[in-house]
């Protein structure tokens, strides 16, 4: 798995993930997310365009990061670009009840 970062024109951090988000890759994602959070970044977008699978470890990582950023005013974690299969994983796990899964970066960043 490969994780890169960028920043939108409005200053929102974006994590771009490539590869399957299995339990091993979830550790790398957790590290990347916590590095941002510990640096004071509480508005985070995650690009899932190049992710074909998310394990329970990946879901736990997103849940923990979501809870942490929401402790801070204006904090949010939003995902975008998930294919139908990955979106269904989040849906079946109940994550779509509280986590934004947008079709693209513009929709994810709206009102963030």
Collapsing DSSP states into helix, strand and coil, what is residue 5?
A: strand
Cα-to-chain-centroid distance, residue 105: 12
- DSSP assignment of 42-109 equals -EEEEEEEE---B-HHHHHHHHHHHHHHTTSTT-EEEEE---HHHHHHHHHTTGGGTSEEESSHHHHH
Query: What is the structure's pLDDT at 79?
Result: 98
Query: What is the structure's pLDDT at 12?
Result: 96
- Structural domain containing residue 52: 2-109
pLDDT tens-digit map of 40-88: 999 999 999 999 999 999 999 999 999 999 999 999 999 999 999 999 9
What's 80's domain CATH number? 3.30.750.24
pLDDT tens-digit map of 12-22: 999 999 999 99
Confidence band (pLDDT; 50, 70, 90) for 98? very high
What is the domain count for the chain?
1
Confidence band (pLDDT; 50, 70, 90) for 90? very high
């Amino acid at each position: 798995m490969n994780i890169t970062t960028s920043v939108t024109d409005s200053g929102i951090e974006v994590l771009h993930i490539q590869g399957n988000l299995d339990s091993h890759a979830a550790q790398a994602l957790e590290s990347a997310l916590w590095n941002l959070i510990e640096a004071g970044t509480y508005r985070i977008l995650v690009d899932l365009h190049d992710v074909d699978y998310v394990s329970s470890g990946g879901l736990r990582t997103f849940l923990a990061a979501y809870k942490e950023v929401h402790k801070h005013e204006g904090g949010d974690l939003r995902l975008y670009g998930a294919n139908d299969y990955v979106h269904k994983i989040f849906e079946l796990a109940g994550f779509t009840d509280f986590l934004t899964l947008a079709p693209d970066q513009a929709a994810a960043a709206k009102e963030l």
